[in-house]
Chain A
Amino acid sequence: MSDPVPLTTDRPVQEASSTPPAPGRSRRLTDRGLAVAFISPALLLLLAMSVFPLLWALYLSFTDYSATRGGPANFIGFGNYTAILTSAQVHTRALTTLIYVCGAVGLQTVLGFGIAYLISRRTHGRGVLTTMFLVPMMLSPVVVGLFWRFMLDAQFGVINSMLGSLGLGQVEWLTRQRTALVSLIVVDTWQWTPFIMLIALAGLTAVPKYLYEAASIDRASEWFRFRTITLPLVWPLLLIAVLFRAIEAFRLFDLVYILTNGGPGVSTETLSFHVYKVAFLGFNTGTASAYGILMVLVVIVLTQLYLRYLNKLKED
């Protein structure tokens, strides 16, 4: 370690290492070999475990294959796709998913940003506060789902008990159509508000102080400062967080499975949950694959959006 380090500050030597053409070329060749050797194992694993399954699903989506019936898979063209896209059942699930994603991500953004803003105005105890707020995010959705199911129980749940002692009526949180979806949104918001908060806080603390000082010399109002300094500077980062959460919320499965199991009726069945039902309870593997591919297309669009903004953020 001690030997090579002084060399790094040695400008002429370093330039010399990159200028001579002959050794440079031979080195680059071995570099390429090394790069391939280092990258390909990881890519191979991804190809085998992510890309190949997706291609297989793509193939199955054009067939009437069923995992339980077995037998040969008959090619049926776009039959599965038209069946899904015209199905009223799927439309209902798409609407449920949309309400859920917009509701949960919207609430998280407002609350998360609000908490981050309040924390960023504190001068003391920021670390402790942040740590406390972050706990829900680190828990497994299984634990979160189970626990809220217990707390929201209509008979002995602590939420109804508290409502009772406040003199309010009991609510059947998870067993009524409307409240079940609201409960799902509330629980997801509880778990993921810290995520938005964490990223918003990073954005807020990165805003240079002198901007605020300059604004206060100009006697700018608080709202004006927020609108013209804080928001424009935090917005790009916040947008990344929102898109990230939207993708995650769109593909959510475990919380629904644990908290409501899609019920009551089909009121909390999201698209992910419906795919599971088609694939593992209905055993229509072909249809489920087509359904899954359509979901993947949505995710790819969202991911592209996310990556584009990420790229923009990195280049700034």
Chain B
Amino acid sequence: MAVSVDEAVSTGPARGHAPPARRFGGRGRSVLEVVLLTVLAVVMLFPVLWMIETSIKENRDVYAIPAEFFGFKVTMDHFKDVFVAPGGGRSALSVSFLNSAVVAGVSTVLATVLGVPAAWAYSRFSVKAKKDQLFFILSTRFMPPVVIVIPIFLMYRQAGLIDSKLGLILIYAAFNVPFTIWMMKGFVDEVPAEYEDAAMLDGYTRLQAFWKFTLPLLVPGIAATAVFALIFSWNEFVFAIFLTSSDDVRTAPPAIAGLIGGTTTDWGLVAAASVVFALPVLVFAYLVRKHLIAGVTLGAVRR
């Protein structure tokens, strides 16, 4: 809301240099645009606000008809339920959050370790059919997960990887490697190859030149790329639900989805779990907002 007020005030002077005859119409239109933007912003943000509101409502307020927007009693019980089991001790949900962190973290590290050197090699060397290779790599990322999961399921059953964190880590790493290569290639392209040439004239080998001079310059890019890979793995649902089943392996998305299985659903708990689940993503996404376009297009579009 504060933004819209801000906008309305600030547009006056900004439009001040318009031709005087059209000035009034211009301002009227500007106000209309601000109103439109405000309405759209409210529509876009309302579900998120409603989720947060529901998570701090008492149960009888959650199901109130008509819905209560203000003046309900605030409670933190749902958040307590997310982390603490009814009988005390850790809840299944909190274990799933921990699993999610482990799986997303390790798979991101794996994808980064494999992807960054590959991106550097694709950027620096003349590899045979480079463009085709890169396009092939990106197209593996577009395969429908429901289709891939069928043979993966059979493969994992043979290898004993069903319902294991390692299985999830491997498939998530495989899904993040194409992204890491594409995203990182953009960052490597921005570092002049001359730095390495110069280092090699000083007697360093190519590998040392990469390690000592290029890699340190890539650290911010690697961090941004890793954050996106982390978000993708953290949010992933399809593989998680088909490849895991037990509580001590299951990640948070299927665990939260599992809350609505029964006859009655504790929507307050679902909301609180969703808030806890989504908060780190939003914080991380805010940190990498500069690279958001490259990130969400899997490194394909850079501006």
The finding on whether chains A and B are genuine partners in a shared complex, rather than unrelated, reads yes
Residue of A nearest to B254 (CB): A142
Give B279 Cβ to nearest chain A Cβ, in Å.
11
Q: Is the CB of B177 within 8 A of A45?
A: yes
Chain A residues with CB below 8 A from B277, complex form = 140, 143
Is B74 an interface position by the 8 A CB rule?
no
- Contact among A4, A118, A296, A304 with B202 in the assembled complex (CB-CB below 8 Å): A4
Please indicate the chain B residues that have their CB under 8 angstroms from the CB of A307 in the complex. 135, 138-139
Within B167-207, the residues touching A (CB, 8 Å) are 170-171, 173-174, 177-178, 181, 192, 194-195, 197-202, 205-207
A132 touches B41 (CB 8 A): yes
- Across the interface, name the chain B residue whose C-beta is closest to A53: B151
The prevalent SS among residues of A at the interface is helix
A279 to B199, CA, bound (A): 56
CB of A162 closer than 8 Å to a CB of B: yes
Checking A48, A198, A293 against B296 with a beta-carbon cut-off of 8 angstroms, the contacting residue is A198
> Do B65 and A161 touch across chains, with their CB atoms under 8 A apart?
yes
Which residues of A, 102-140, contact B by the 8 Å Cβ criterion? 111, 115, 118-119, 121-125, 128-129, 131-140
**Per-position 1/0 for A39-83, Cβ under 8 A of B:** 101110110111111101100100000010000000000000000
Say yes or no for A100: interface residue by CB 8 A criterion: no
Collect the chain A residues with CB atoms within 8 Å of residue B66's CB.
161, 164-165
The reply to whether the CB of A22 lies closer than 8 angstroms to some CB of chain B is no
- Say yes or no: A115-B286 contact (C-beta < 8 A), given A57-B147, A164-B66: no
Residue pair A296, B197 in contact (C-beta under 8 Å): no
B303 at the interface (CB under 8 A from A): yes
- Which of B7-15, B75-83, B86-94, B218-226 sits within the interface? B7-15
Q: How large is the interface on B (under 10, 10 to 19, 20 to 34, 35 or more residues)?
A: 35 or more
Which residues of the other chain, B, contact A272 by a CB distance below 8 angstroms? 144, 146
Q: Which residues of A contact B303 (CB under 8 A)?
A: 202, 206
In the complex where A39-B118, A49-B152 touch, is A121 in contact with B33 (Cβ < 8 A)? yes
* Contact partner, B198, options A4, A190, A300, Cβ 8 Å: A4
- A129: which of B3, B125, B231, B241 is its contact (CB, 8 Å)? B3
**Residues of A with C-beta under 8 A to B140:** 46, 50-51
Distance (Å) between the CB of B22 and the closest chain A CB? 11
CB distance from B104 to the nearest CB of A (A): 12
In contact, B44 and A45 (Cβ under 8 angstroms): no
Interchain CB contact (< 8 A) of A199 among B7, B131, B181, B301: B301
A296 to B151 alpha-carbon distance, docked (Å): 13
Q: Chain B interface mostly helix, strand, loop or mixed?
A: helix
**Set A48, A132, A275: member contacting B146, Cβ < 8 A:** A275
- CB of A267 closer than 8 Å to a CB of B: no
Closest to B255 in A: A142
A39-B121 CB under 8 A given contacts A56-B154, A237-B301, A295-B147? yes
Q: Mark B1-32, 1 if CB is under 8 A from A, else 0.
A: 00100110011001000000000000000000
Whether A31 and B267, one on each chain, are in contact in the complex, defined by CB atoms closer than 8 angstroms, is no
Query: CA A151 – CA B151 in complex, angstroms?
Result: 36
* Contact indicator B253/A140 (Cβ below 8 Å): yes
Q: Which residues of B contact A136 (CB under 8 A)?
A: 44, 47-48
Residues of B with C-beta under 8 A to A5:
195, 198
Closest A residue to B236 by beta carbon equals A140
Q: How far is the CA of A171 from the CA of B200 in the complex (A)?
A: 70
Q: Verify B41–A151 contact, CB threshold 8 A.
A: no
- CB distance A35 to B127 under 8 Å? yes
> A7–B203 Cα gap in the complex (Å)?
13
Whether, in the assembled complex, A87 has its beta carbon less than 8 Å from a beta carbon of chain B, the answer is: no
Report whether B285 and A138 are in contact in the complex, using a CB–CB cutoff of 8 Å. Answer: yes
Q: Tell me, yes or no, whether B274 is within 8 Å of chain A by CB.
A: yes
Given contacts A45-B174, A122-B11, A206-B303, contact A146 B145 (CB under 8 A): no
Tell me if A299 and B143 are in contact (CB < 8 A): yes
Q: In the bound complex, do residue A135 and residue B174 qualify as a contact, i.e. CB atoms below 8 Å apart?
A: no
Given contacts A31-B125, A292-B144, 5 further A-B contacts (CB under 8 A): A31-B206, A35-B124, A57-B150, A296-B143, A302-B142
A-B contact pairs, 25 of them (CB 8 A): A8-B192, A14-B197, A39-B133, A46-B137, A49-B152, A56-B151, A56-B154, A67-B154, A118-B33, A118-B40, A124-B11, A135-B44, A137-B296, A143-B51, A143-B274, A147-B50, A156-B62, A165-B66, A195-B296, A199-B301, A206-B303, A240-B301, A275-B146, A288-B150, A295-B144
Instruction: Give the B-binding residues of A (Cβ under 8 A).
Output: 1, 3-5, 7-8, 13-14, 17-18, 27, 30-32, 34-35, 38-39, 41-43, 45-46, 48-54, 56-57, 60, 67, 111, 115, 118-119, 121-125, 128-129, 131-151, 155-156, 158, 161-162, 164-165, 190, 193-195, 198-199, 202, 206, 237, 240-241, 244, 247, 250-251, 253-254, 257-258, 272-273, 275-276, 279-280, 285, 288-289, 292-293, 295-296, 299-300, 302-304, 307, 310-311, 313
- Give B residues with C-beta under 8 Å from A: 3, 6-7, 10-11, 14, 33, 36-37, 40-41, 44-45, 47-48, 50-51, 54, 62-67, 114-115, 117-118, 120-122, 124-125, 127, 131, 133, 135, 137-140, 142-148, 150-155, 157, 170-171, 173-174, 177-178, 181, 192, 194-195, 197-202, 205-207, 213, 216, 231, 234-235, 237-238, 241-242, 253-254, 256-257, 260, 267, 270-271, 274, 277-278, 281-282, 285-286, 289, 292-293, 296-297, 300-301, 303
